[in-house]
Structure 1
Amino acid sequence: MFFCFALIILASPAAFTDARCDFLAVFNFGASSSDTGGFKAAFPPQRPPYGMTYFGKPVGRASDGRLVIDFIAQGLGLPFLSPYLQSIGSNFTHGANFASSSATILLPNTSLFVIGTSPFYLTVQVNQMKEFRTRVLEISPQGNYLPPKDMTFNKSLYIFDIGQNDFTGMLATVGLEGVKKYFPQMISQLTEKIKMIYNELGGRTFIVFNLGPVGCFPAFLYYLQPHNTSDLDMYGCAISYNNLVLEYNKMLKDRITQTRNQLSDATLVYVDTHAVKLDLFQHPKDHGLVYGTRACCGYGDGEYNYSKEVSCGDTKVIDGKNVTAAACKDPENYVSWDGVHTTDAANKLIALGVLNGSFSDPIFPFSKFCDLKPVG
């Protein structure tokens, strides 16, 4: 099915200071799909070719350029969100980003240095948000790097984009049926954090992204080889994995509806980014792209251009030869950047779908709340 994303953002070109927007700030919680540099501020720096398309250098984003959260900020007329963990060059006047690559909803049961799971899981991120608010209310801002002391946090937008690492991280150890048993716990933890922000921080507007179609990402298709052809759909995506994601998303949507009814004066929106991403993977050419289930940056030049032996940007000795997982020359034609994450081009299209509001339950067109600026 083809979705039209060329929607909106032909709105007012006015600067943010002159434009209407009901949201004074944006606070984001998530993993690598929305981490604007927090993980790389705490751990080893990122290497090229990350950031090549837009920033011209690695900036801690798991993409060749901007992320969905960047395009959303741009559409709202806000600056890109600075990572909470970044001590130099940050500007928190219009919000902060607590997302961390490899982050999970649930408490990690092992070390970052064992399987790569971030210690900054959702509970830690929300605790960081609580500390951030406390400090803002205590400290008189010096310069222009903090929100005004009298900022009302109930006029901010809170975005949650997390859960995929819980899902994929457990697949290898407990399998499809085992992962399903953790769904209630994951969803409960997520909605409890929303209630915490509502009760303790005054948050009133929440956006929750569902999980994307894991079975279409090149990295997971690579690890599933050799394929049982009956488990691949006509677009080359793994049916069993995508069906399980749909089960999670249905449970999440139902719980979001229940939670919405409990928070009478809050706006709690479920956003079906899964539908947007799935359409990009299945019909890339309908959206000006070319490659769906093939990574731009990788090694092997096989069906998925992905290898577990060498990740995007890395160089290793394989069979006595130095090999590098290099980037393609045309990332603007790809949905997948490195096999796990999406490109700048795909992220723009996903953000347009979010800002449009038609993938939201309830319908949540951002143009009702802000004079949207061009996204590009």
Structure 2
Amino acid sequence: MASRVPMWALGALLLALVGGGAAAGAAGKCSFPAIFNFGDSNSDTGTTFVAFNDLSYPYGMSYKENAKRFSDGRVIIDYLAENLGLPYLESPLDTIGTSYKYGANFATGGSKISPILPAWAALPIPMYLDVQISEFLQFKSRTIDFYNQLKNDYNSSESEFILIPFFFFSLSNQEVMAVVSANDDFYNTSIPVVIEQYYSGLQRLIQSGAKFLWLHNRGPTGCMPVTVGECRLNKTACLDKVKGYINSENELYDQHGCVRGQNKKTKMFNRLWKQSVDKLRAQYPDVVITTFDMYTAKSKIIANAQKFGFLDPFKQCCGNSTVFCGIRQPNMGPLLGTACQDPTKYISWDGIHYSQAANKLVANLIIEGSLTSPPSTPISRACHKP
């Protein structure tokens, strides 16, 4: 018998939480009737589109008009929902014609984990992690109140949806990029604060009843086309940001062409992230926590770009190093940030976000249970203790 467990998801760093008594036998497959997601633009499926600006063409060109995603098509959370037999998630702000029976997506483009970063370090988007969690808890409270009023009209699976959530979480792309690109003083003082805010956010969810978590770390920031492009344009400034992490100018790039010092900083961030996850595991031994190594997953795709059918991994499909994807001349003039003809040949869509083709590759690794801890744990079995 498959257990019926709702899933609340959070983008690029995946966190899953499941209520008590939901798991089947040790070898049983989990069944998630609902997902709630938190994160930034890597998993945003509508909040930015509704609240801040219209992600118009060429965004979504491989999927549909008004795709509401920072890609040419689907993002990782879409493929995870699809694999679990669920519809794609909508933003709680996108209320026209939307059903939240199967969950909601609180992820917001440009959002951060911590509100303490100065304006220059990341986009001034107020939807940082603690706000997203507060939105979810309010959403949950109101849903329970509504259910209690109409519970005679609800079937058992909908009752479980109210009581047993499953979450996914994503580390902030903007935030990690900002801190690893900054000077050492800012990096060394900011990272512990960001990690603590992250840990506190997960604690809030666990204390509200979370029992199963699925998390992932940060991908290789030094391999992003925007990072590599900035170093190629201004080598001196790039060297200044990574001094102390490389021995000479000749070590600026690694064997794959990524900015070595940026990746070393990201690895240090991920080590502190892992320590916070281990601390959670020790503090809450009854909570099952599964992690996915996003850093290794994306590094393998970049190192084997041609094998996967991609062109230069440091080129982007849409826009370039000086003109961002989708930018137009004033007053809706001609499109300046144009897109390539075949996005399936590119890992990066716009220099920061992955293409639909690359997102699907990463999602498949998650679905298969590759690069997880505990080992070989696909999301379909993430409701069991190892």
Under TM normalisation by the shorter chain, which class is it?
A: 0.7 to 0.9
More displaced, 239-248 or 158-167? 158-167
Match of 1:123 among 100, 118, 130: 130
* Counterpart mapping for 1:29-48 below 5 A: 29-48=38-57
SS of structure 2 residue aligned to 1:315: coil
Q: Is the 8 A contact 1:137 1:150 kept in 2?
A: no
Match of 2:112 among 104, 116, 132: 104
* Aligned-partner residue type, residue 101 of structure 1: G
| CA shift digits 1:44-97 (9 cap, x unpaired) | 211210001022x23221000000000111111111111122121322111111
More displaced, 191-200 or 358-367? 358-367
**2-side partners of 1:157 and 1:129: how far apart?**
12
Q: Offset of 1:246 from its aligned partner?
A: 0.5
* Aligned-partner residue type, residue 379 of structure 2: F
Does residue 292 in structure 1 map to residue 304 in structure 2? Answer: no
Does residue 351 in structure 1 map to residue 360 in structure 2? Answer: no
5+ residue gaps, structure 1:
1-18, 299-305, 371-376
Does residue 167 in structure 1 map to residue 176 in structure 2? Answer: yes
Question: Which residue is 2:348 aligned to?
Answer: 336
**2-side partners of 1:171 and 1:253: how far apart?**
17
Q: Is the 8 A contact 1:22 1:155 kept in 2?
A: no
Q: Offset of 1:369 from its aligned partner?
A: 5.6
5+ residue gaps, structure 2:
1-27, 236-248
* Aligned-partner residue type, residue 89 of structure 2: L
Q: Identity rate of aligned residues, in percent?
A: 30
Question: Which residue is 2:251 aligned to?
Answer: 230
Q: Offset of 1:204 from its aligned partner?
A: 1.4
**1-side partners of 2:188 and 2:369: how far apart?**
29
Q: Is the 8 A contact 1:270 1:360 kept in 2?
A: yes
SS of structure 2 residue aligned to 1:289: coil
Q: Is the 8 A contact 1:25 1:155 kept in 2?
A: no
Question: Which residue is 2:21 aligned to?
Answer: none
* Aligned-partner residue type, residue 215 of structure 2: V
Question: Which residue is 2:78 aligned to?
Answer: 70
* Aligned-partner residue type, residue 237 of structure 1: C
Q: Offset of 1:177 from its aligned partner?
A: 4.6
Question: Which residue is 1:59 aligned to?
Answer: 67
Q: Offset of 1:243 from its aligned partner?
A: 0.7
Structure whose residues are more often strand by fraction: 1
Q: Is the 8 A contact 1:52 1:58 kept in 2?
A: no
Q: Offset of 1:229 from its aligned partner?
A: 4.8
Alpha-carbon RMSD: 2.8
More displaced, 334-343 or 185-194? 185-194
**1-side partners of 2:335 and 2:41: how far apart?**
26
**1-side partners of 2:347 and 2:356: how far apart?**
9
* Aligned-partner residue type, residue 340 of structure 2: C
SS of structure 2 residue aligned to 1:351: helix
Q: Is the 8 A contact 2:47 2:106 kept in 1?
A: yes
SS of structure 2 residue aligned to 1:182: helix
Does residue 279 in structure 1 map to residue 300 in structure 2? Answer: yes
* Aligned-partner residue type, residue 272 of structure 1: D
Distance 1:166 1:136, change over 3 A: same
* Counterpart mapping for 1:1-376 below 5 A: 21-55=30-64, 57-107=65-115, 116-140=123-147, 150-152=159-161, 155-170=164-179, 174-200=182-208, 202-224=209-231, 225-227=233-235, 228-298=249-319, 306-308=320-322, 310-316=323-329, 324-363=336-375, 364-368=377-381
Q: Offset of 1:171 from its aligned partner?
A: 5.3
